[in-house]
Amino acid sequence: MKFQVLSLIGRAPHPLTGALPSPADRFEEVVEAGVVAEHLGFDAYAVGERHAGAFLSSAPTVVLGALAARTSRIRLLTGVTVVAVLDPVRVAEDYATLDQLSRGRLELVIGKGAEAGHFDLFGLPEERQWDLQKEKYELLRRLWREENVDWQGEFRPPLKNATTIPRPYDGPPRVWHGSATSLDSPELAARHGDPLFTANAVQPRPAYARLVEHYRERFEAYGHDPADAHVAAGSGGLLIADTPEQAVSRYKELYEARVRQAYKPHLAGRAGYNTPFRTIEEAMAHGPQLIGSPEQIIEKILAFHEVYRHDLQSISVDGQGLSRGEQVEMLQRFAEEIAPVLRGQVPSMLWQ
């Protein structure tokens, strides 16, 4: 199994103290965490993209460019690139530039995003989000694979003899499809033989298992080798303690305050936005959150793997109210006490 650290660059008041870091401090924290993640042996570091809500991740290419300059080995991913609201020409140019700067370490994760407000911000109809994603992704594929492209679609002006510059570093970067609530992303990923990245962050496990199962079935139906159907899984945050009892004692107030803070009443009833695991005990027992002793977390990730058969596990340490020192502590304990066990028990051919 491979391991990734994800930051959505959230910037909300601390759920207990109300303290609010400056944007500059948050960006510094994210870049430094990427440097630490590389030093600790993580395989990838991802930066999300949000254009609404309490986040600073509206320009992930800029942040990933800073990470490219400070690292040399770790893969750089997005989480996700909201291709549905973007111009595929601009996406092709920006991310090929980043691919060159990082000497081929870039991979995209595309999706519709987890904030309902960005379609209005870009003047696009939310009800057409899947049509937008499909058309724009398929144009991006052509722009990275072909030169002198002629193209006509519904959502942007036609292209005639178009070649985006620069070209990617060493062929088209791998593109994962982020999947949280709908069968549309697994279907699009399967059609093109691309890997799937299940959010595995908010809902109960069966909701995500349904999406992964659909992906694997359709991947093979489209004529692709099932061995190439790579899957990644997110998680709802990482909080490690020596024992389950210490985890509850140390993090209960923080976790439950963060859940209350993140609740979106206007999206109540819509899958994938509000966690049903309101208490830390519920989250530890049944949720995707990685909270507890190292042994508990290993068991939970192995339980994920029984269902998803995933190659890549993503974790998050920021956005939960942890200090910088505590975030580094979580990363170090995961890298030293959890990752080696899982690498041994669940070997993966991803990124060989």
Radius of gyration for the alpha carbons in the chain, expressed in angstroms and rounded: 19
Look at residue 237 in the predicted model and tell me its pLDDT: 93
Write the CA distances from 17 to 67, 228, 257, 258, integer angstroms.
30, 47, 10, 11
Tell me how far apart the alpha carbons of residues 59 and 49 are, in angstroms, rounded to a whole number: 7
Look at residue 268 in the predicted model and tell me its pLDDT: 83
Beta bridge partners of 5: 45, 315
Phi, psi for 303 (deg, rounded to 5): -70, -40
Ranges of each domain in the chain: 2-345
Tell me how far apart the alpha carbons of residues 23 and 25 are, in angstroms, rounded to a whole number: 5
How many other CB atoms are there within 10 angstroms of residue 271's CB atom?
12
List, in order, residues 6 or more apart from 318 with CB less than 8 Å away.
7, 9, 10, 29, 30, 33, 327
For residue 86 the two structure tokens come to: 């973007």
For residue 269 the two structure tokens come to: 């009833």
Write the CA distances from 202 to 9, 168, 211, 282, integer angstroms.
18, 34, 14, 12
Write the CA distances from 250 to 166, 319, 322, integer angstroms.
49, 17, 11
How many other CB atoms are there within 10 angstroms of residue 169's CB atom?
17
Length in residues, the chain: 352
CB 333 within 8 A of CB 252: no
Beta bridge partners of 44: 4, 75
CB 232 within 8 A of CB 223: no
List average pLDDT for each run of 10 residues in the chain, which is 352 residues long: 98 96 97 98 97 94 98 97 97 98 98 82 93 97 98 97 98 97 97 98 96 98 97 96 98 96 82 89 97 98 98 96 97 98 97 88
* Peptide linkage before 91 cis (omega within 30 of 0): no
For residue 273 the two structure tokens come to: 């936005």
Tell me how far apart the alpha carbons of residues 137 and 112 are, in angstroms, rounded to a whole number: 11
For residue 242 the two structure tokens come to: 């020596």
Look at residue 270 in the predicted model and tell me its pLDDT: 80
Instruction: Determine the angle formed by the axes of helices 129-145 and 184-192, rounding to 10 degrees.
Output: 20
Domain 2-345 falls in which CATH fold? TIM Barrel (3.20.20)
Residue type, 215: Y
